[in-house]
Structure 1
């Protein structure tokens, strides 16, 4: 290859590097979500303010687990759940999904702020910070539930979910889907599981609710119990204000599972060739935005590898040509 053509080709290959890095940097940051209505415990406490929560229950949660759990409100998850929720999460740790960071949410108290509800149709709103394909299931506690005792799987009416939704469309920062609440009285709890279908990852949340007018407390009592205040969700402004303090992994999910890790090349390899496919493939498989980020990352990695290989071959050829010239003299 003439020297001029080699130079042009090398410069072209080098140009791929910044373009690939730009593509990686341009991939949108992503996190996950929690129940917004009825308000989840972690969303309620975040809305009160992680550094100085107002309710007794949220102050106790911070005392038990620290403030970081509230800044990471959208990260109560298990990366390799794959539907094995009851196997992976022990009784007493459902609200934290057995995650030490969120252990304050498992406190057995009758004074958690509650959303007032009544039996009948209910429109659930799940606050989402990254859309994923998957199925939502929401369960309610059985009649006779006592919030002063640790929440166990047996406390939930698992045979009759109050809401089920597959691949709802996110709008305005929420997934909205319908369900029906049964007859209950007093303080109850709604447990939401969001199992992704494009990954084994699942998300969990606990929402305290109060059935019937005048019911803001619970059937149980605690030594420091007081009437539970009405729950309120964080505003968009509050969420934006605390985003820089979150440690929830962006551009990935921060777990050991290659399919949900922050390494786009590993994720593409683990998920198969469609993970780095074309936009047509994404549409055919029903993949979401996060999958397209993996495709961008995988393409960028391939481009970087190609550039390095080309430069390496060019260097070898130049040395070989130079050596041949010297030997011929």
Structure 2
């Protein structure tokens, strides 16, 4: 009898450990750090009052399939994740901006904490006339990504860089980076505020 109870308890312990490990792996995994994303600004303390994202900058994970699917309008920068809604708040247009050169080559960089099999990385930019005082919507973005980097299911390195030509833009804009995972239903989202 004692042996059966011990076996059951050990089994429950293994099951519990497996569930914790499985649910832990669903936690965040990567974010854009060049051009600096909103979550990076929060993690480094450049921007204050960011809530939980300051401790989990790699956790902006939401449904994939953007722009046809994915997070709802107004919740894109947080990946539709309510725990990180501070990333969707326009802050009166006061998010720090990275200075970029219109039409020039630029290297984007991501820090990858968990190296998922990857479908692609895509970069979208806001249309001319974008209002940084409002939460980001699909209507704010150009319909096609200006840079698409297919990965074919390969797992990325701990640091990933992509070089591409920036669109012809002027003034303040937002670049949305989307890291689409090949073997889950999710993607990671990163909003970077920029000025041309």
Give 1:87 shift: 3.5
SS for the counterpart of 2:44 is helix
Q: Flag the 1:84–1:139 CA change in 2: closer, same or farther, 3 A.
A: closer
Q: Flag the 1:84–1:38 CA change in 2: closer, same or farther, 3 A.
A: closer
Runs of 4+ in 1 over 6 A off after TM superposition: none
Give 1:169 shift: 6.7
Distance in 1 (CA, whole Å) between partners of 2:160 and 2:70 is 26
The structure 2 residue matched to 1:40, chosen from 37, 42, 63, is 37
Give the aligned partner of residue 6 of structure 2: none
CA RMSD of aligned residues (A): 2.4
Q: Deviations over 1:164-195 (max 9, x none)?
A: 11227744x31111221111112110001111
Distance in 2 (CA, whole Å) between partners of 1:72 and 1:196 is 18
The structure 2 residue matched to 1:199, chosen from 179, 184, 188, is 184
Give the aligned partner of residue 112 of structure 1: 95
Look at both structures and tell me which one has the larger radius of gyration over its CA atoms: 1
Alignment of 1:160-199 (within 5 A): 161-167=145-151, 170-171=156-157, 173-199=158-184
Give TM-score scaled by structure 2 length: 0.78
Greater share of strand residues, 1 or 2?
Answer: 2
Give TM-score scaled by structure 1 length: 0.48
Q: Deviations over 1:26-55 (max 9, x none)?
A: x9x86510111111001111111xxxxx5x
Distance in 1 (CA, whole Å) between partners of 2:69 and 2:155 is 30
Give the aligned length: 172
Unaligned residue ranges in structure 2 (runs of 5+): 1-9
Give 1:88 shift: 4.0
Unaligned residue ranges in structure 1 (runs of 5+): 1-16, 49-53, 212-329
Which has the bigger relative contact order, CA under 8 A and spacing at least 6? 2
The structure 1 residue matched to 2:59, chosen from 64, 75, 94, is 75
Q: Deviations over 1:138-185 (max 9, x none)?
A: 1011111110122111111122x12111227744x3111122111111
- 1:98 and 2:80 correspond: yes
* Contact 1:86 1:153 (8 Å CA) reproduced: no
